[in-house]
Amino acid sequence: MRSFTRSMADEGGASVDNASFEKGISIFSKAGILGPLRKTGTSATTVTRTLKTATQQLYQRYVLELIFQEKELPPSKDGRHIPLRPHHDKPLIDERRGSAYLPNTIRTSRYTVYDFLPKQLFFQFSRLANFYFLCVGVPQTIPGVSTTGNFTTIIPLLFFVFLTVVKEGYDDWKRHRLDKVENARSATVLRPTGHVDSRQDWRTGFGLRGTRDKDTMAVEEVIPESQYQWHATQWKDLKVGDVIKLSRDEDVPADIVLLYADGENGMAYIETMALDGETNLKNKQVSKALQRCNTIQGIASCQADFVVEDPNPDLYRFDGRVTVDGETLPLTLNEVVYRGCTLRNTTCAIGMVINTGEECKLRRNANRHPKAKKPAMEKIANRIVISLVVVVVSLSVGCSIGYLIWKNAYEHKAWYLEHLGVDFEDIIIGFFIQFNNIIPLALYVSLEIVKLGQMWMLNSDLEMYDKVSDTPAKCNTNTILENLGQIGYVFSDKTGTLTENVMKFRKMSIAGTTWLHEMDILKEQEEQGLTQTGKGVNVMLEPTDENDNTLTKTTTVVSVRSPNPRRSSSQWRSTGRPDHVQPEVTTEDLLEYIRLRPKAPFSRKAIQYLLAIALCHTCLPEIRDGEIEFQAASPDELALVKAAQELGFLVVQRSSQSVTLRISRGDGTEVERTYQILDVIEFSSKRKRMSIIVRCPDERIWLITKGADSVILPRLRLAQLATQKANEVRKSLEVEHEMQRRSEARELRNSFGGRPSFTIRRSIHLARQNSVAGPSKRPITNRSKSFEVGRMSLSAPEDRLRPHVTVRTASYDVPYEDAVAASVSDKFAFLDDPSVCDEGAIFTRCFKHIDDFATEGLRTLLFAQRFLSESEYNTWKKIYHDAETGLVGRQERIEAAGELVEQTLDLIGATAIEDKLQKGVPETIERLRRANIKIWMLTGDKRETAINIAHSARLCRPTSDIYILDTTKGNLEGQIMDIVNELKIRAETMATAIPNHTVIVIDGHTLAALDESETHGNAKELFYSLIPTIDSVICCRASPAQKASLVTAIRNHSHQPITTNNKSFLAYLVTPKRTPPLTLAIGDGANDLAMLSAAHVGVGISGREGLQAARVADYAVGQFRFLSRLLLVHGRWNYARTSKFIVATFWKEMFFYLPTELYQRYTGYTGTSLYESWSLTVLNTLFTSLCVIVPGVWEQDLSAETLMAVPELYVWGQRDGGLNLRKYMGWMVAAVAQGVVVWWVCWGLYGGIAVKDNGLFAVGNLVFTVAIVWTNVKLLILDTHYKTGLILGAFGITFAGWWVWQIFLASAYAPGVWPYAVRGGFFSSFGPDPAWWVALFAAVGLLTAVEVGYKSTKRNLILSGLWRLGWRKWMQWETWKGLLALGRGGAARGAGPMWAWDEAGGEGRNVEEWDVELWQALEREQTVRETLKGMGRVGHEGDGPEPEEIMKEEEDNEKNRVGESPTMDCEGQNEPAVVESLEISK
């Protein structure tokens, strides 16, 4: 780990000068890092930015401030003044508003009753297609303008908009319901006797909540004559100035100042996990000026006046003061408790409300009025709509000009058209209305139906069902489902999201030896019947001489289990480094050794170590249900105390004066030892250590200190030697890491610079099939004759990397052998080594252990000790007492006094605590990283903890370059420049190697300092320019508001580099700018709500912090591991489905209406419709809806197993592979060509040779029938890969329904003279005409043959490696010579066109760049399919349905699956064998 700072020439680290900044800019430019900062310099950009700014100012001034009265309040003159009174008859007045303070209600919904309709109307008509149809529909209502009716556009539009508005209103109504539940929670408030709240708790009113009298029991006071008593009320009824009472484990309803706490010395323990994500309990203490507020009478008589700061989002600072009897004392963060906290380990607390509702710190950090989220694909759809508007205008203008030409050439000669001319403006408006349906009116409604189906598919996925919490995946916002397929950044909370917030003591380092503690694992497995237990072993702890600095002179015996003969089968492994060999001696072995050799030097050190972890803490034991439970200020301390209990040292009692240990004896008896607590020097973020001074039973004074290695090391007695050994270890580790980095740099990399999941070596050749037509009879498995897939796996699966139990570790660990067969001398021989007593060797090995612990993701602490003489202690005690009782600089003086005694310490050992991750977290992060997704961890926890978790979750690798940005270490601009310089040097020296994994660590204070341009210059601009080149970022000590602002900043800075201005317009059309990577935030607590709202996609976890995030987020899952399937599988599927739906919808509309335009030349461009009106009306509803909706819901271009096993395939969505301008133009060109073919085939084969009916309806109905049949054949049969009975059923329903419609039309139309001779036409005129059917089959057959031929040729070229050769290669004779030789059948086995494969990229082309047709061919190989399925299950073992359910589902899928044959997949008759030789390796 390295922290890069810059030494400045000027004092105080002044800003880097302009020359340095210009140098940095040039470095960024050369390294390609400053792409996001380049500006086009065009005037259009400047104008757009100016207009946007002006629009925002007008919106702020006239809409928000004038209409909605949302004004920025000016600061108060001297803060808000709040007098302490038991009850206020009138509400207190906020001087900033001139009215009462805000009520204690919160609102997470997006709309209110009065702003819902205007906001929704604005939102709906900001959609370009809706706005377009509004502009078309309004003029259409004018009589005499439209040739297709006056309300055919506006009424369907309003209906569709109404449905969407109702759906959005329903979603927001559900949020209102959740807000009501939150606001109706119960609180206890001080009110006058006999007072009745205007609004009672509805559950109490209906008898659903039992009334509970809490009156004065908590403060142990009964005052019959008192005028006040405690009342139950709802949270929403609390007001500023109210006095409330909290009970243990109760949530705080508003920001309060503590008036009373029944903890020792007026202390209250507060859990802030829901506020800032920290798991440690915070100590809050009542101000000394409020000591008499411990009774109702005391509160009534205390005329205190509070002055507190105005509401603000800063969680880590509070300014205020309290005046009592003329004495004024400051109010700091230590006396204030915020909403969202929970009272722990304290029976009762009383406080006065100072902030309510939306002015609480928690709500000030939330995104209180989030905007409705739009799918990123909608921008591309809007561009398509604009292009189609141009097409509609062009068609309308072209046909209108054709009418003018026809009018001049023919109309004035036709006597029957005299005086019947039409004005040009009416003609062009008529054509514009006629062709407006090229832009589908039902686009968004059909898309909503598709997304409802996609939501149902996501919600019903059993693979994302969490059995432990009984939580399925849930979609709360179905409008952005396709965004899941384009995520580029994941912002994750730590506590409750990545971790379970459960700490377990895992390893210890004593005298240079390391021991594994797995008693908890064995106990769990014993309860499940997975292990065998042995008999008890009596372990004797011997007394030692005083000179050996041990503590008791009493012989005690500890009863432990014998070593488990099957222990190796349950050996713990690190999630951060699963390949790391673990110690093969455990703490059970340690206790056995102590029993056998109690007087050995190592035994004395071990006893001292165990006593230290049992004494140095602040945990309080409590007896619940006959068992001792501990209340700890931090989960780390709880893990240490429980480990001491498992090792025989149980804390049975602890007060401020003493701590009592109960030690079990071998004969079944127990002995208790009491240690007098003299002083406790508390832990602080500045000290990074905690100390306790106890008097042992032998009257000696013992100082025990635990803390981070960086603060313990310089305070050791042999600090110089320890520092020397630490530097040596650090240098050796750097050499090892550099060698490992260089080794990794020579590995293969994928297209975005990462390490691929696997590589595939292929030899492909084409082999003719003997069959001329129809599917091949040869089994599909014969396509592959040779497979080597045994090595195909994800990187470091746990089962393969499990260490062998006979490997000897580098840290003096020994192999575990059978306890019965091995002698003691052989088993513990390494403990007799003289180095166990060598301080230098102990330092070296201990520091190496600490590094290993850290890279495994374990939280490390060093323990040290010293003994004090009575005189030494008394001298120091006087200094410490003066510091404790001082009023000025109390905390600083306490820390200085602690510094005096915490010197010349002796090292006891090191501990390693595991912060247990949720199941599958490391594997999920690895998958997401391979999917080109950058993962950030945003947490309110401290830096060291965040880095340890990053290692454990594999967010950091053992060889990662970790850069720490810290505003306290100098100028930030200089620190960033140092990072840039190092990255530049690495890029230049290792240009052909994989860039090393880089991580930036930044805290909330530094993040806030980036905005101080006067102090840190252009640091902010440089930081956000550097971020795209960094693999991961860890942001610690971040408030919820900072999390949200960071997500917003990355969302705005994540755009692709802007290209140069000299690019041609044609090149811009062909290669447009990609959609910037989208952001996803995932969390589980109320402190994550702002972050979830700020991201493009918010995912909530039903975690330990409640269901707030899961209720408000766009999507909810039970565990973090389900995020990989949510993105890689459902994200890719939904993106592909929605992309296909959009292009297919636009394609079919263009295809349908092009024959109408071609027909106009035969009608004098008068606007006569080729199609009958009823059929045209139900076209998109009955006959072309299922062909786009059903694939949009159920299509799967690749299987879930493939997508999970090969995360690199996710890059396809990030690169706009499903919907881009090139693909859209290809579909539109195909629509135009196919429309022309249909028209000329129908007109040529039937229009000129019709026997019975050559009228308008017969020709139009023929074209309409061909269009319907071809649309459904193409979209449901030819273009759909995942063919099930549902797909074929949709085709059958539509196909049969059209002929039923033909019968209905022929019968329903009334007889008469119409331009469309519908009545009986299908039965008597064109229906029996063979020419009509010949034209139908000819047109459909021709289109099918061309489509099948194209797809078959493309697929064969892809499988042969010829598809991506490029036109230059095709112009060379060698290409055709090789193809001719191959066509003559001269290719031997394995001698396929490898020259073509190599030229096209060959093995060097990465798996994410392979065409989907190639992956679909690989999926048909049974061996590959089974291997991919096994890879996809890594990290998800035990998820989903039971095995028998899976087998049944697979059998059903095989029965329903159609299309494995070449015909159904349009592969052509002469299908090549797919793979001749395949080798898949890691």
Question: Where in the sequence numbering do the catalytic residues fall?
Answer: 493
- Alpha-carbon dihedral 578, 581, 584, 590, rounded to 10 degrees: -90
Contact, 1035 vs 938, CB < 8 A? yes
Tokens representing 1161?
């030349």
> CA 881 to CA 898: how far, in whole Å?
11
Inter-residue long-range contacts of 34-37, CB under 8 Å, 24+ positions, other chains counted: 34/1025, 35/1028, 35/1056, 35/1057, 35/1058, 36/1024, 36/1025, 36/1028, 36/1053, 36/1054, 36/1055, 36/1056, 36/1057, 37/1021, 37/1025
Question: What are the DSSP calls for 178-238, one per residue?
Answer: HHHHHHT-EEEEEEETT---SS--HHHHTT-S-----TTTTTT---TT-SEEEEEEEGGG-
H or E stretch at 980? helix 972-989
- Helix axes of 116-125 and 154-183: crossing angle, nearest 10 degrees: 130
Tokens representing 1332?
């009509």
> CA 1139 to CA 1467: how far, in whole Å?
23
> CA 142 to CA 148: how far, in whole Å?
12
Inter-residue long-range contacts of 660-668, CB under 8 Å, 24+ positions, other chains counted: 661/611, 661/614, 661/615, 663/541, 663/556, 663/557, 663/558, 664/557, 664/558, 664/559, 665/556, 665/557, 665/558, 665/559, 666/538, 666/539, 666/540, 666/557, 666/558, 666/559, 667/538, 667/557, 668/559
Among the listed residues 576, 588, 652, 657, the one whose alpha carbon sits nearest the alpha carbon of residue 620? 652
Which residues lie across from 256 on neighbouring strands? 337, 353
**How many beta carbons lie within 10 A of that of residue 23, not counting itself?**
15
> CA 680 to CA 1238: how far, in whole Å?
90
> What is the CB-side half-sphere exposure of residue 1018 using CA atoms within 13 A?
16
Contact, 508 vs 609, CB < 8 A? yes
Q: State how beta strands 267-271 and 342-344 pair.
A: antiparallel
Which residues lie across from 1033 on neighbouring strands? 936, 1000
The distance in angstroms from the start CA to the end CA of the chain is: 29
Contact, 884 vs 746, CB < 8 A? no
Contact, 1041 vs 1073, CB < 8 A? no
> CA 766 to CA 1385: how far, in whole Å?
9
Tokens representing 238?
């609390």
Helices (H), 215-370: 273-276, 296-301, 361-364
Among the listed residues 245, 364, 362, 258, the one whose alpha carbon sits nearest the alpha carbon of residue 304? 258
> What is the CB-side half-sphere exposure of residue 390 using CA atoms within 13 A?
5
- Alpha-carbon dihedral 1111, 1112, 1118, 1122, rounded to 10 degrees: 150
- Helix axes of 1186-1194 and 443-459: crossing angle, nearest 10 degrees: 30
> CA 647 to CA 670: how far, in whole Å?
14
Contact, 361 vs 355, CB < 8 A? yes
Among the listed residues 104, 113, 254, 109, the one whose alpha carbon sits nearest the alpha carbon of residue 177? 109
> CA 1210 to CA 1132: how far, in whole Å?
6
